[in-house]
Amino acid sequence: MNAMWNTVNLALAAPGLYMALKQPEQSLLWADVLKEQQFTEKIFLFNTALDVAYITAGFWMNDRSNYVSKNNERWKGWGQSLILQGSFLFFFDAIMYGLHHQHAVKKLPLLSPSPNGIGMVINF
């Protein structure tokens, strides 16, 4: 089951890596940079919530193995696999969210409203 999950991970990661390497270097407008930063953070937060669902499903399958007489070892194996995979992904996504958020706080200036429109604060 772990090998199957890693096959899924590879299938999900390969197109992203391909697109990242294929994409030409481009200069983005400031608004686009902020939009991309926020989108990336939201993706990692969403994935973290999905990881909690994986872990919960794994515990359910593991518990279900105690109550079914047919294929109980399979249920237990699937449950343990989901718990392991979900836990790894949870920590990965949480760390990546933290790193991206920390990068945004440190590197991206804060935009704030001012009497004349939107002001930008740059700290050195």
Dist CA 15 CA 104 (whole Å): 25
Dist CA 48 CA 45 (whole Å): 5
* 97-98-103-106 Cα dihedral, nearest 10 degrees: 140
pLDDT in tens, 60-90: 999 999 988 888 898 999 899 999 989 988 9
Length of the chain: 124
Q: Which residues contact 78 (CB under 8 A, 6 or more apart)?
A: 1, 58, 61
Dist CA 81 CA 1 (whole Å): 6
pLDDT in tens, 84-112: 989 988 999 999 999 888 887 776 656 55
